[in-house]
A and B are shown apart, each in its own frame.
Chain A
Amino acid sequence: MCSLSALCSLLAGSGPRLSSQERGAVLALLHSSAVTPVTRQVLLERLDARQERQFLSEAEFNRLRAAAVRLVPHDPAEIDVIGPLDARLHSGLSGDGWRYADAPPDAEAYRTLLAALPGGFVTLSGEQQDEALRTVQSSHARAFEDLLSELAETFFAHPLTQHRIGYVGFADAPGWPNVGPNELEAREVSHGGQ
C-alpha cells in the first residue's frame, strides 16, 4: 500500500493520456453498483498500490524491474508488479504453497537468477534484455518459470490490465443472467479494450 498518497497520485497521473482515460473508465465501473463493496475495496487499493523495496538489494530490485518490464510489458510508474513480489519474499511466506523439491527456496532461487543476468542488464536495449532473459530461461529453468508465473499473476490481477484485456468479471453484483456465447450485458460491451 502506498504510504504517500500525494506521491501515488502523482505517479499514477504521470502516465500517458490514454492511461488516464483507461483509469477513469476503471474507476467509473468500480464505483458503480455493479461492483460489491468488498470487491471494490480490494480493486481500488490495488489500482494505486506501490510497495517500497524491503527485501532485495537495490541492484537486485532494479534488475527485477527491468526483467519484469520485458516479461509482462508494462509501465512501472503505472503498475507495480515487483513490489508485491519483494514484499512476499520479505514475509518469508510461500507465494503459491509449493516449490520444486530440487530448487532452493524462492528468495535464493530468484537472487541466483537475477545474478545470472549479464552486467549492465538494466541499461541494455529491450532486444538485448530479451536475449539475456532467454539465456536464463534455459540455464535457470525452474526459477524462471516461477518468476514468470508470479509476475503474470500480479500483472493480470491489476485493474488496468484487466480493463485492457476486456475483463469485466468483477462487476458481478447484479449477477449474469445470460451466460451463452455473445450474450453480453451492457457493462460488458462498454468496458475494456477488445
Chain B
Amino acid sequence: MAGSDLPVDLPSDLDVLVIGTGAGGSPLLARLAVSGLKVAALEAGVRHPPSGIATDEVAQAGLFWMDERLSAGADPLAFGRNNSGRGVGGSTLHYTAYTPRAQPDDFRLRSEFGQGVDWPLDYADLEPYYEEVEQFLGVSGPETYPWGPARQRPYRHPALPLNGAARLMARACEQAGIRTSPAANAALSRPQQQEGYGERHACTNRGFCQAGCSVGAKASMDITYLALAEAHGARIIDGAFVTELTLTNGRVDGAVFVRNATEQRLKAKTVVLSAGAVETPRLLLRQGLANASGQVGRNFMAHVGVQVWGQVDDDLRPYKGIPGGLISEDTHRLPGIVGGYLLQSLGVMPVTYAAQYARGTLTWGQQLIDHMRGYNHVAGINVLGDCLPYEHNYLELTGELDVRGLPKPRIHFSFGDNEKRMGEHAETLMRSLWASIGAEQIWALPRAAHTLGTARMGHDPAVNVVDAYGSVHDTPGLWICDNSTYPSALGVNPALTQMALSLRAADELIRRIRA
C-alpha cells in the first residue's frame, strides 16, 4: 500500500494538518485551502483515479480498509468491504452515493422519545451546508422530494434512471400504499465541470459504485473536494499511515507517519483527525488522548441494514444502473419504535451477492450454483435504520498486534431491543413487498451498515469528546471531523450529513483561527 515512490518534500508552517481524506476530512480541507490557509492531508491509502478502476470486485479490493478488526458482541460486524474505505477519497471511493438529508427530528431523539441523545445542533444549522454540498457534488434527484422540509433549491441534475430492482420496488410499494421517489444520488445524470478535475462524465449506468466509479460520474472526494483543495494549494500525501500525534506542552502540534517504510513527521498549528469511527478512537486510545470524558471508543453504532432479496421472471441484470435508485421514507416513524428507517432498492454485483448469499444462508454445493444461475433475476431492497447509542457497544484495543505492530481493535456490537424491533419490522415489510410481486427464493440478510460514534459531540465535556463543531474538549490543537462524532446514528445514509458537518467545522475553525 505504498504511495508514489517519489520522496515526499514535506510542507512546513502548516496551519492545519488533516488525517484522512474521506467525507469527514475532504470538504474541510478544501474549505481551509480556499480560504487561504496552508493545509495538508495525510492519507493511509493511495490514489485511485477513475481510469485505473477495473469493473471487477476482486481487483478493486484495494479500495477497502483490510487491516483486520476483531468483531465481538451478539451481532458481530463485518468490516472491510461492508463499510471501511482506504485511499485518497476514503470510503467515498466505494460508497453507493446515496445522499438523503437527515430529517429535523433525527437530531432530537431524546426530546422526542426520551431515549438516545439529542445532537448539539439542529437541522437548521446544517441546511445551508446540505444545499451547498448537494450543488457542489452535483446530486441527481427528483424535482420534488416527498419527505422532510421543503428544499430551497432543486437538485442540480435530474434523477438517474430506475433499474429493474427500483421499478419492481416502485410497483410493490404502490400496491401497498407506500410512497416512493427516485432517490437523491451523488452521481451525475448530466456532465458537470469540477474545479481542479475537469469535466466529469455523466453516469453510464455501470452499477459498480461500490467497487469504484471508472467514469468520474460518482462524486467521490478525490475528484470533487480534494481536487478543489489541491487547486487551491492543499498538499495531499498518500500512502501515509499515521502512527502517532505529537504534542508540545499538552497541545497537539503534528503527526508521525510511515510512508514507504520510512517514518516522517509533519508539524501544524492545528490537527484534524478524520480517520473514521474505528481508526480515530484506535489512535486516541493508543495514546490516551482526548479522553478525559472516558468516552473515546464508547457508543459505537451501526445502522440497521437488513436486506431482502428475491428472484423474478424478468431479466433484471442487477449489475446495471445506480444500485439504489428508489427510496421511501414513509417508514421514518413507526409505532413502538424509537426513530425509524428508510427503504432503498438494491442492485448488486455478482461476487458480493454470491459471498453474502453463501455466508448468510450457508448454502453450498450444487444448490449454491443453482441459486447463482438466477443472478440476473435478482432484485433487492434494503433499509437504513437508526441505531441508539448503548453502553454495551464500544471499541477497545486488544493485545493482538497487526503487521505494523499496532494493537488490533475489538468492536463490540449488539443490537438493542429497539434495533431488533426495527429490523423485524423492516424484514417483514420487505418480504411482503417482494412476495406481492411474485418474487421467489426470498431471503433476508440481517446486516448493519456504516461505522458511527466512538468520539461523540456534545456541549458537556464530562460526557462528550468534542464540541458541537468538532474541537476536542480536553486537548488543544486537536479537532475530530468524521463519523465518530455522531451522537446518534440518524435514519439516513451518513455521507451527505458528514460532508455538511465538515464544511461547518471548517467555517468555525477558520473563525477561531482568525479570531
Contacts and interface: CB of A to CB of B under 8 A. Distances in A.
A92 B206 contact: no
Interface string B351-370: 10011011100101110110
A101 B75 CA distance: 11
A124 interface: no
A121 interface: no
B127 interface: no
Nearest to A35: B55
B79 interface: yes
Interface stretch (B141-149, B157-165, B438-446): B157-165
Nearest to A102: B72
Nearest to B78: A98
A9 interface: no
B368 A152 contact: yes
B211 to A, nearest CB: 10
B314 interface: yes
Interface in B311-342: 312, 314-317, 319-321
A98 B76 CA distance: 10
B66 A157 contact: no
A181 B350 contact: no
Nearest to A142: B76
Of A73, A137, A156, most B-chain CB atoms within 10 Å: A156
Contacts of A31: none
A32 B207 CA distance: 20
B431 interface: no
Given A38-B52, A101-B71, A165-B372, A179 B350 contact: no
A1 B208 CA distance: 26
B169 interface: no
Given A36-B214, A175-B205, A179-B164, A98 B80 contact: yes
A39 B55 contact: yes
A56 interface: no
Interface in A152-188: 152-157, 162, 164-170, 172, 175-177, 179-182, 184, 188
A20 B493 CA distance: 46
Which size class do B's interface residues fall under? Answer: 35 or more
Contact of B68 (A99, A181, A184, A188): A99
Given A102-B72, A152-B368, A162 B355 contact: no
- Overall SS of chain B's interface: loop
Contacts of B208: 169, 172
Which size class do A's interface residues fall under? Answer: 35 or more
Interface stretch (B57-65, B230-238, B418-426): B57-65
Given A166-B376, A179-B161, A181-B164, A153 B80 contact: no
Interface in B37-96: 51-59, 64-72, 76-81, 84
A14 interface: no
Contact of A153 (B76, B206, B354): B354
A145 B162 contact: no
B351 to A, nearest CB: 5
Contacts of A95: 66
A193 B376 CA distance: 11
B432 interface: no
A10 interface: no
Contacts of B364: 70-72, 133, 148
Given A39-B56, A94-B67, A167-B319, A162 B366 contact: no
B66 A93 contact: yes
A148 B359 contact: yes
A185 to B, nearest CB: 9
A157 B362 CA distance: 19
Contact of A166 (B78, B161, B314, B375): B375
A157 B320 CA distance: 17
Nearest to B83: A97
B53 A38 contact: yes
16 contacts: A39-B54, A42-B54, A42-B56, A96-B81, A97-B66, A97-B80, A98-B77, A101-B76, A130-B365, A152-B357, A169-B350, A175-B206, A179-B320, A180-B167, A181-B312, A194-B373
Given A96-B66, A172-B208, 5 more contacts: A72-B364, A73-B366, A165-B375, A172-B206, A193-B373
Interface of A: 35-36, 38-39, 41-43, 46, 70-73, 92-102, 130, 133, 137, 144-145, 148-149, 152-157, 162, 164-170, 172, 175-177, 179-182, 184, 188, 193-194
A-B pairs, 5 with minimum CB distance: A97-B80, A175-B204, A169-B319, A179-B321, A101-B72
